[in-house]
Amino acid sequence: MKIKITLNQSIKEFDVQPDEFLLDTLRNHHVTSVKKGCDQSTCGVCTVLLDGKPVLSCSLLSVRADGHEVVTVDGIQDEIEKISDSFGHEGADQCGYCNTGLALTIYAMKRELKSPSDLDIKKYVVGNLCRCSGYEAQLKAIKRYLGEKL
Amino acid sequence: MKVVKHVIPSVDGKGIMMGRPAYTDDLAQPNSLIVKVLRSPYAFARIKKIDVTKAKALTGVELVLTHHDVPKKSFTRAGQGYPEPSPHDKFVLDEYVRYVGDEVAAVAAISDKIARKALSLIEVEYEVLTPVLDFEKAYENPSIIHPEEGIHEMFPIGFLPKKNVAASYEMHVGDVEKTLKSCDVVIEQSFYTQAQAHSMMEPHTVNAHLDFQNRLMIYSSTQTPFHVRRIISQTLDHPISKIRVIKPRVGGGFGGKQALHGEMLVSMVVLRTKKPAKMIYTRKEVFESSYTRHPMRIDIKLGAMKDGTLKAIDCFVLSDTGAYGEHALTVFMVTGSKVLPLYNKVDAVRFNGQVVYTNHVSAGAFRGYGAIQGNYALESAVDMLCTKLKMDPIKFRQKNMILEGETSPIFAIMGEGTEGTAMNMETCKLDFCVKRGMELISWKNTYPRKQLENHKVKGVGMALAMQGSGIPYIDMGAATIKLNDGGFYNLTVGATDIGQGSDTVLAQIAAEELMTTVDKIIVYSSDTDLTPFDTGAYASSTTFVSGNAVLKAAVNMKEMLMQEASKILESDLEDVSFDGYTFEANEKKITLPDLSNRITYNHDQKQLTATNSYVGHKSPPPFMAGFIEVDVDQETGEFDIVHYVSVVDCGTPINLKGAQGQVEGGIVQGLGMATFEDVKYGKKGNLISNSFLTYKIPTALDIHKLTTEFAESYEESGPFGAKSVGEIGIDTPPAALSNAIFNAVGVRITKLPITPEKIWRGMQELKEKK
């Protein structure tokens, strides 16, 4: 079946199966910035923004995205570059597999929360698992991106 | 130093976060066949009959493989140096299946859906056998897990498959029994450590195709590309010259990707069908069908005199390697060799035991590699001994621990699967690490406990740890540096960046020696055609071993540059000076870009390339002291880890934030093992913890505060004074937490993980005793 998604600001048509998930639709069309980690909506690496809200594309049926706006890091490169600069400064990136999904969550959080506390930040990103960093450097990098002087 | 020991952003972090294709599956050929594996529902069974007729007949299925279709050649997936210290006890597919999730058959089809459908059409008749699910009952069990012919050890490792023994070992220094008898105080305790799942975020992924030279091109999320090439060639009898293994960006490994998972089957599919093929483990497969940490029982005896002199350590270890003996002997030996030398002044030490087969998921390499298990036992036992001695555990450690300039006889006796290498500790800042850690955790104010409000009590605990820096005389790393026109360099290394940041660290080492900046060093790693050899990313080897190779190559490149400059400037070599950009002699100058352009295009043209390699003659251990502050609820046993302090001696930390990230990542993985990570099986050997819902790993909310500092330390044998730092962080959390819980509420947990329930039960027992 055919669906239309506004993907990274341009309207794209996809021919999808009824039981197909958005993650597979995107990756099969070479949007490889969206990663597959657990295929069970438990790890966060497949995060995309659906109408501005972070969602897990591995468990979102592609047909549910029909008529909606989907954003990946490919669509907001300037802002993602700023996040990556903060991560680079804090040494918060290790294997990077969780980083595209996490960056989208951070981007959404900046727009949703005003002056979040450490706990607010942790609660917002808790679904983006990371096995490398131990989270401490990530938290510092997020605060740096949010404009806190460290 | 201008580049080393600075905060330098990783060379690849930005491109990766901005979404550039980087990982194995990002680079798969379109229209790759999807390879799926039918996995055993039984913990132990023999395949009586397998009928693939219906699966083969399904439209879209290109190939079905069973044990009838594969070479009858045993191998080990372990991914270690050759010959391996792991038994060759695995076939690509076998008549026997030895754990729930073991490979029964493989299907290659044009889509994921068809591949899954085909799996459901394979008819298998099993003879279900009695599994061995308790590793303490594995030895000489009537159920023999490897009864088959054709399996063997590569050299003596104590391999006794008919007794379910994958490996065994024994060593001693002095007379342990006699020394223990002469001690004023002796303690004896058994400790149990559980299996832990690596849980790297990128599942095991591989794809392959035949290139235009008809060579097998394998892209793999591996820690050991050169071992993959060798093992595929040997097992499939395919010429090694016709195989190229490329390691793209890897999304975490932690030892789980040291071994081969999927490469063998995908290669077979490509060679048979001539079509590109790929395989991505589902998360369930990552849990069920890759690796875990070796669970162990460690029986330990310590003996000391009244004045707090430790006299003897006696250690028996029983290790569960699961269905296959990968890393069986070596993980087991590290349990002793990278733990026991911490207390080097004892009169007698004994280390012995067995590694047994069971019908569990195969155990393999995992960050810490036996040391975290041994550390939990020894560092808990030391605190128990101090309680009996009524001695401060820090004073005891300061009296007995290894110090700079000292050695331990264990270094010469125990290596990894072989004899070890004698060495002195040229750098060991444990004394500083302990003192500084005490300050940072406010030890004196808190030890052993501080009563808080609301039935809560604060406790502190600590542990020491050591690891290694590669395996001496075995691990070899090599590097090539090429000068380009325009005056920048390519650095190609076999060393395998799996997310730990080795590409960045190695570029920093080259940049420091060549007196330039990291952006002038373009790194490319781990491609068996294009980069020189490296054993791979394991055994805390990359910074020390591969880093030394890079340094040697950079020294060579600098010599070449100076010679070219002396010719151009018509001066004696010793008159030429170089600051990384300008060569100067006798008031004449030439810049590096001009020099490189001149020798590329204009005069006396040539390509400057320097290759060098390094193999360690010793393995200088990084050391650390880990301190934990924990608030325990005296009514429920629940606890919060308020603060973890790490003070680390890794020599020079090449990349300050990178090294900190390695330590903190290790600490949190270690805290996961200490507190809730637990690989659990059902009664029939089925894995219960096979998703992130049933196997929790630490999240951002679980971590309160981490403080990490580095001791000033300069290891002469390392590149710019560095030792390695990849594993040391994981070792201390279980023992430090165990000690802190004891200090807080008087309960000694001897079986990981340390859960509120176990603490609560312990507190109830204490109450009953009172």
Q: Are residues B609 and B494 in the same domain?
A: yes
Distance CA B653, CA B3 (A): 11
Task: Taking residues B313-334, report their average pLDDT.
Answer: 98
Q: Are residues B457 and B575 in the same domain?
A: no
Q: Are residues B586 and B706 in the same domain?
A: no
Task: Taking residues B749-755, report their average pLDDT.
Answer: 98
A99 close contact with B: CB closer than 8 A: yes
pLDDT score of A110 more than 70:
yes
Coil, strand, or helix at residue B552? helix
Residue of B10, B17, B111 to mutate, testing the A interface (most A Cβ within 10 Å of its Cβ): B17
Which of A43, A73, A92 is facing B201, going by the closest CB pair? A43
Coil, strand, or helix at residue B740? helix
A141 close contact with B: CB closer than 8 A: no
Domain membership of residue B10 (yes or no) is no
Task: Taking residues A84-91, report their average pLDDT.
Answer: 97
> pLDDT at position A148, please?
77
Question: What is the nearest CA distance from B282 to chain A, expressed in angstroms?
Answer: 7
* Cross-chain Cβ contact A135/B703 below 8 Å: yes
Number of domains in chain B: 3
Chain B hits for A99, Cβ within 8 Å? 13, 16-17
pLDDT digits (tens, 9 = 90+) for A70-83: 999 999 999 999 99
Question: What is the nearest CA distance from A89 to chain B, expressed in angstroms?
Answer: 6
Residue of A nearest to B287 (CA): A38
Tokens of B487: 């005056």
Which DSSP state fits B182? T
Q: Are B282 and B117 in contact (CB under 8 A)?
A: no
Residue of A nearest to B667 (CA): A134
Residue of B nearest to A84 (CA): B14
* Cross-chain Cβ contact A45/B201 below 8 Å: yes
Distance CA B755, CA B741 (A): 10
Question: What is the nearest CA distance from A70 to chain B, expressed in angstroms?
Answer: 15
Which of A83, A127, A134 is facing B706, going by the closest CB pair? A134
pLDDT score of B327 more than 90:
yes
Q: Are residues B519 and B665 in the same domain?
A: no
**Helical residues (DSSP H) of A5-145, grouped into ranges:** 22-28, 77-90, 99-112, 118-125, 136-145
pLDDT digits (tens, 9 = 90+) for B187-242: 999 999 999 999 999 999 999 999 999 999 999 999 999 999 999 999 999 999 99
CA dihedral of residues B562, B568, B573, B578 (deg, nearest 10)? -40
Chain B hits for A29, Cβ within 8 Å? none
Domain membership of residue B649 (yes or no) is yes
Which of A85, A96, A133 is facing B665, going by the closest CB pair? A133
> pLDDT at position B337, please?
97
Which residues face A5 on adjacent strands? A12
For helices B756-769 and B733-745, give the axis angle rounded to 10 degrees. Answer: 40
Task: Taking residues B406-412, report their average pLDDT.
Answer: 97
- Considering only the top CATH level, what class is A2-74? alpha beta
Which DSSP state fits A59? G
Chain A hits for B498, Cβ within 8 Å? 95
- Which has the closest alpha carbon to B250: B228, B280, B278, B220? B220
Coil, strand, or helix at residue B757? helix
Which of A40, A96, A136 is facing B17, going by the closest CB pair? A96
Chain B hits for A89, Cβ within 8 Å? 7, 9
* Cross-chain Cβ contact A139/B664 below 8 Å: no
A25 close contact with B: CB closer than 8 A: no
Length of chain B: 770
Q: Are residues B525 and B493 in the same domain?
A: yes
Q: Residues of CATH 3.10.20.30 domain(s) within chain A?
A: 2-74
Chain A hits for B668, Cβ within 8 Å? 134-135
Q: Residues of CATH 1.10.150.120 domain(s) within chain A?
A: 76-145
Question: What is the nearest CA distance from A142 to chain B, expressed in angstroms?
Answer: 12
Domain membership of residue B636 (yes or no) is yes
Q: Are B626 and B733 in contact (CB under 8 A)?
A: yes
> pLDDT at position B703, please?
87
Residue of A nearest to B670 (CA): A134
Distance CA B558, CA B567 (A): 14
Q: What is the DSSP string of B477-519?
A: EEEEEEE-TTS-EEEEE----SSS-HHHHHHHHHHHHTTS-GG
Which of B23, B282, B667 is facing A134, going by the closest CB pair? B667
Q: Are residues B489 and B571 in the same domain?
A: yes
Task: Taking residues B292-305, report their average pLDDT.
Answer: 98
pLDDT digits (tens, 9 = 90+) for B348-377: 999 999 999 999 999 999 999 999 999 999
Which of B282, B655, B661 is facing A133, going by the closest CB pair? B661
Q: Are A97 and B499 in contact (CB under 8 A)?
A: yes
Q: Are residues B623 and B607 in the same domain?
A: no
Return all residues near B601 (Cβ < 8 A) that are at least 6 apart. B485
Kindly provide the ipTM of the predicted complex, given to two decimals: 0.98
Q: Are residues B79 and B210 in the same domain?
A: yes
On average, the pLDDT of chain B sits at 98
Q: Are residues B559 and B627 in the same domain?
A: no
Could you identify the residue written with the tokens 């604060």?
Answer: B458
Q: Are strands B348-357 and B165-173 parallel, antiparallel or unpaired?
A: antiparallel
Return all residues near B169 (Cβ < 8 A) that are at least 6 apart. B157, B158, B329, B332, B333, B351, B352, B353
Q: Are residues B309 and B428 in the same domain?
A: yes
Return all residues near B358 (Cβ < 8 A) that are at least 6 apart. B131, B132, B133, B134, B135, B138, B145, B164, B320, B321, B322, B323
Residue of B18, B32, B285, B691 to mutate, testing the A interface (most A Cβ within 10 Å of its Cβ): B18
Task: Taking residues B121-148, report their average pLDDT.
Answer: 98
A23 close contact with B: CB closer than 8 A: no
Task: Taking residues B622-631, report their average pLDDT.
Answer: 98
Q: Are B483 and B561 in contact (CB under 8 A)?
A: yes
Q: Are strands B205-210 and B476-483 parallel, antiparallel or unpaired?
A: unpaired
Residue of A nearest to B668 (CA): A134
In angstroms and rounded to an integer, the radius of gyration of the C-alpha atoms of chain B is 27
Q: Are strands B216-220 and B243-246 parallel, antiparallel or unpaired?
A: parallel
Q: Are B322 and B355 in contact (CB under 8 A)?
A: no
Question: What is the nearest CA distance from A73 to chain B, expressed in angstroms?
Answer: 6
A53 close contact with B: CB closer than 8 A: no
Q: What is the DSSP string of B273-339?
A: H-S-EEEE--HHHHHHHS-BPPPEEEEEEEEE-TTS-EEEEEEEEEEEEETS-TTHHHHHHHHHHTT
A129 close contact with B: CB closer than 8 A: yes
Q: Are residues B681 and B655 in the same domain?
A: yes
Question: What is the nearest CA distance from B84 to chain A, expressed in angstroms?
Answer: 28
Distance CA B206, CA B250 (A): 11
> pLDDT at position A150, please?
65
Distance CA B384, CA B331 (A): 25
Question: What is the nearest CA distance from B163 to chain A, expressed in angstroms?
Answer: 37
Return all residues near B241 (Cβ < 8 A) that are at least 6 apart. none
* Cross-chain Cβ contact A129/B697 below 8 Å: yes
Which of B14, B280, B665 is facing A132, going by the closest CB pair? B665
Distance CA A147, CA B672 (A): 31
User: How many C-beta atoms surround the C-beta of residue B15 within 10 A?
Assistant: 15
Tokens of B708: 């990490």
Distance CA B583, CA B563 (A): 11
Domain membership of residue B710 (yes or no) is yes
> pLDDT at position B417, please?
83
Q: Are B736 and B730 in contact (CB under 8 A)?
A: no
Percent of chain A with pLDDT strictly greater than 90: 97
Domain membership of residue B177 (yes or no) is no
> pLDDT at position B219, please?
98
Q: Are residues B680 and B532 in the same domain?
A: no
pLDDT digits (tens, 9 = 90+) for B664-681: 999 999 999 999 999 999
Chain A hits for B703, Cβ within 8 Å? 134-136
- Which has the closest alpha carbon to B496: B200, B217, B223? B223
Domain that holds residue B279: 23-129+205-252+257-289
Chain A hits for B500, Cβ within 8 Å? 94-95, 132
Could you give the strand order of the β-sheet that contains A47-50, starting from the edge strand earlier in sequence?
Answer: A10-15, A2-7, A69-71, A47-50, A53-56
CATH number at residue B285: 3.90.1170.50
Evaluate whether the domain defined by A76-145 bears CATH number 3.40.50.2000: no
Q: Are B80 and B227 in contact (CB under 8 A)?
A: yes
Distance CA B542, CA B494 (A): 10
A36 close contact with B: CB closer than 8 A: yes
